[in-house]
Chains A and B, each alone.
Chain A
Amino acid sequence: MSSQATPTLRLLGIGASPGVAVGHAFILDRKRIRTPKLRLAEAEVEPERMRMKTAIDLSDRQLAELKDQITRTEGSDHALILEAHRLMLHDPMLVDEVNRLIIEDRINAEWAVRRVARKIKHLFDNIPDEYFRERRSDVDYVADRIIRNLMGQVVDEEVEVPAQAIVVAHDLSPADAALMARSGRVAGFVTDLGGQTSHTAIVARARETPAVVGAGRASEQISPGDLVAMDGIRGVVLVNPSDEQLAVFREEQRRHQESERLALATKDLPAVSTDGFQIRLYGNIEFLEEIPSLLAHGAEGIGLYRTEFMFLDRKTAPTEEEHYRAYRQVLEAMGGRPVTIRTLDLGGDKVPGKTKHEKEPNPAMGLRAIRYCLSNRELFRTQLRAVLRASVHGNLRLMFPLICGVSELREARSELEACRTELGRAGVPVGKRFPVGIMVETPSAATIADRLAQEADFFSVGTNDLIQYSLAIDRQNREVAYLYRPLHLSVLRQLRGIIDAGRAANIPVSMCGEMAGDPLYTLMLLALGFDELSMTSGQIPVVKRFLRRVSRVDAMELLQNAMELTTAEEIERYVRTEMDRRFSETMEPGAPGVGNAEPTDHEPSEHGAPPSGRNTA
């Protein structure tokens, strides 16, 4: 189906809703309207005000009708946005001011609406809280609707989306996004504008439809009917992909669908080996909207809640209230299940409102994560205070990333305790003490895990960084990427050392890197003795199925044999063969394959760190 003649175009945006989709492009062309600007004669003023009133009434009826349609099929969330829009239509800030401009400045209604909307939007610009600031886009949607109605344009055109289409647009209004998602015919969304909190992103995540936003000039560069393959995690969009690229996407898509099917079957079963060893399977998340999918796939908790999103796509650092609100919502949505919050894991270049640091030559080893937090105490304290306050609302655990030594852990903990005392003194409820752990993701931490275990309440192994630092390879570098080997003996020995240290100190050890979610490693991790594995929701059913089919005794034999081998190639070959032998019948076509040591990286060298700044564990 792919065209050999057309060259492949590769676009990079922000992965806003996970999943892979392949389909033909449907371009939604909602051109920005040009506002006509006219001066009125005195006799035209009254009729102009009537025209304005008619346009508002018409807009109101349209929104009421849309809301009605959506409520019937979609539940109340999208309807709520439309209800707020209806109130904006009648808002005195808008209506009175437009009428004043018509009467006093003698300008036409379209122009007046545009001018007032711009003024209101500027007022929203200065609000530090992102949620409230972003309501300025609602002002725009409402103003656009009034102006279109004034000009007699069709507003809510029934868009016939072909089945399995990839909808490509400059931007989507909440009404468009909700209507299209409702049609159930959209395979994926790609928009030029938008960020993680735009309406498209929120609607797409709620519908579990893959989405890439902020994709530059996608709506101009993609033509109707183009074959599009998109990855809503990495933010990659391939237009007219080659047969090979397409095969990779289709495979991933198929695996995704298969795991969905499995999810339903295994959701409520425990992840326990045939001889009774249980591992708790948790999910990794970044956004509240991912929780329904997590629970649907049987996650027993959240093993990694990334907080970087709080800092991205904005001009000022998030307030304590914003942090608090986000954490509280997640804790409440998870009921009493554990939620492991990881403090900021970014470098200063990504944090808004701070003086930009010089570009570091080697950011992976630079001032980032806990190092950055400890040298920017105010920012760190803001997050810690919010965590402490949120802890009242659920089963919270806190962990610090990139810990290399005991003093970093002590410093971070004492900052946490200082915040607790301060809040307590101010009479702010902070709840009981909660477990405070660390990410073990540097060779240094792995080596002194016994000492760290004396002072941490739990370990969470971040394999992506641990492997990268241990093997001294840069995963973004195409020349050395082949050296990234999770089954390298040095990695296995480090993992064993970490577990032994945790065991000796009687603290739980978890893993939240990519290795945790790849079924090729499931038996090895069972044998090593991990208490928890945390992964993306889609990976949980497969890992669970593998766990439920083996005994720990058998897994330990596999591990022991593997660790007697020497080279990474030998170990990989051995483990792969053994896994094939054990699971061959479950790996018939249609079943998710083992042996995708790394989730297939479509083009490893180019995308680098996704622009969303999403840090894998």
Chain B
Amino acid sequence: MASVVEGTYEIINALGLHARAAAQMVKVANRFKSEVTIEAQGQQANAKSIMGVLMLAAAQGTQVKLTCKGDDAEACLQELAKLIGDRFGEAQ
């Protein structure tokens, strides 16, 4: 059953959504069937598009809203939230 879940998170890693972090986000999003959008500072992008994510130019401290829509939406949002919370594996 298709569901829609969303959540707002702060980007806490030092470099923000730069190439490395954006790549990780896209790779995680791609593992799920759900549609995933990411919104930051009034701009929206497909979280499965690395160029779209980079264009958000989201620096550290930016609030991003993730919306997942699909059968696996719940799990998808959870994974993405974990990635952001883990600072995309960046050293602190």
Binding site for B on A (CB under 8 A): 80-81, 83-84, 87-88, 91-94, 120, 123-124, 127-129, 131-132, 135, 138-139, 319, 321, 324-325, 328-329, 332
> A153 to B76, alpha carbons, bound, how many Å?
40
Q: Which of B14, B18, B23, B55 contacts A87 (CB 8 A)?
A: B23
**Contact assessment for A132 and B54 in the assembled complex, using a CB-CB cutoff below 8 Å:** yes
**Contact assessment for B50 and A84 in the assembled complex, using a CB-CB cutoff below 8 Å:** yes
CB distance from A423 to the nearest CB of B (A): 13
Closest A-chain residue to B59, C-beta based?
A321
Please give, as numbers and ranges, the residues of chain B lying within 8 Å of A139 by CB-CB distance: 51
**Contact assessment for B14 and A93 in the assembled complex, using a CB-CB cutoff below 8 Å:** no
**Contact assessment for A123 and B23 in the assembled complex, using a CB-CB cutoff below 8 Å:** no
Please give, as numbers and ranges, the residues of chain B lying within 8 Å of A321 by CB-CB distance: 16, 59-61
Q: Which of B14, B19, B48 contacts A81 (CB 8 A)?
A: B19
Please give, as numbers and ranges, the residues of chain A lying within 8 Å of B18 by CB-CB distance: 131-132
Binding site for A on B (CB under 8 A): 14-16, 18-20, 22-23, 26-27, 46, 48-52, 54-55, 57, 59-61
Please give, as numbers and ranges, the residues of chain A lying within 8 Å of B55 by CB-CB distance: 123-124, 127, 132
**Contact assessment for A92 and B16 in the assembled complex, using a CB-CB cutoff below 8 Å:** no
Could you list some 16 contacts between A and B, CB below 8 A? A80-B20, A84-B20, A84-B22, A87-B23, A87-B50, A91-B50, A92-B49, A94-B51, A124-B54, A128-B57, A129-B57, A132-B54, A138-B19, A321-B59, A324-B60, A328-B14
> A332 to B13, alpha carbons, bound, how many Å?
13
**Contact assessment for B46 and A84 in the assembled complex, using a CB-CB cutoff below 8 Å:** no
Please give, as numbers and ranges, the residues of chain A lying within 8 Å of B54 by CB-CB distance: 124, 132, 135
Closest A-chain residue to B19, C-beta based?
A84
> A139 to B23, alpha carbons, bound, how many Å?
14
**Contact assessment for A92 and B23 in the assembled complex, using a CB-CB cutoff below 8 Å:** no
**Contact assessment for A84 and B23 in the assembled complex, using a CB-CB cutoff below 8 Å:** yes
CB distance from B51 to the nearest CB of A (A): 5
Q: Which of B15, B27, B46, B61 contacts A92 (CB 8 A)?
A: B46
The total of Cβ contacts below 8 Å across the A-B interface reads 61
> A510 to B69, alpha carbons, bound, how many Å?
60
Closest B-chain residue to A77, C-beta based?
B20
**Contact assessment for B51 and A120 in the assembled complex, using a CB-CB cutoff below 8 Å:** yes
CB distance from B90 to the nearest CB of A (A): 11
Please give, as numbers and ranges, the residues of chain A lying within 8 Å of B19 by CB-CB distance: 80-81, 84, 135, 138
Are A132 and B57 CB-contacts (below 8 A) given A91-B49, A92-B46, A120-B51? yes
> A329 to B60, alpha carbons, bound, how many Å?
13
> A81 to B23, alpha carbons, bound, how many Å?
10
Are A88 and B14 CB-contacts (below 8 A) given A81-B19, A123-B55, A129-B59? no
Q: Which of B16, B22, B26, B27 contacts A325 (CB 8 A)?
A: B16
Closest A-chain residue to B62, C-beta based?
A321
Are A83 and B23 CB-contacts (below 8 A) given A91-B51, A92-B48, A92-B49? yes
**Contact assessment for A93 and B49 in the assembled complex, using a CB-CB cutoff below 8 Å:** yes
> A328 to B15, alpha carbons, bound, how many Å?
10
Please give, as numbers and ranges, the residues of chain B lying within 8 Å of A135 by CB-CB distance: 19, 51, 54
Please give, as numbers and ranges, the residues of chain B lying within 8 Å of A80 by CB-CB distance: 19-20, 23
> A124 to B48, alpha carbons, bound, how many Å?
18
Other CB < 8 Å A-B pairs besides A94-B51, A132-B54, A139-B51, 9 of them?
A91-B50, A91-B51, A124-B54, A124-B55, A127-B55, A129-B57, A132-B57, A325-B14, A332-B14
CB distance from A495 to the nearest CB of B (A): 40
Please give, as numbers and ranges, the residues of chain A lying within 8 Å of B48 by CB-CB distance: 92
Please indicate which of the listed interface residues A81, A93, A332 has the most CB atoms of chain B within 10 Å of its own CB. Answer: A93
Closest A-chain residue to B45, C-beta based?
A93
**Contact assessment for B46 and A93 in the assembled complex, using a CB-CB cutoff below 8 Å:** yes
Q: Which of A83, A88, A324, A332 contacts B51 (CB 8 A)?
A: A88
> A123 to B55, alpha carbons, bound, how many Å?
8
Question: 9 tightest CB-CB pairs across the interface, nearest first?
Answer: A132-B57, A321-B59, A87-B50, A84-B19, A93-B49, A127-B57, A91-B49, A129-B57, A84-B23
> A588 to B55, alpha carbons, bound, how many Å?
58
> A272 to B86, alpha carbons, bound, how many Å?
44
> A84 to B15, alpha carbons, bound, how many Å?
16
> A319 to B59, alpha carbons, bound, how many Å?
11
> A120 to B52, alpha carbons, bound, how many Å?
9
Please give, as numbers and ranges, the residues of chain B lying within 8 Å of A81 by CB-CB distance: 19
Please give, as numbers and ranges, the residues of chain B lying within 8 Å of A325 by CB-CB distance: 14-16, 59-60
Please give, as numbers and ranges, the residues of chain A lying within 8 Å of B60 by CB-CB distance: 321, 324-325
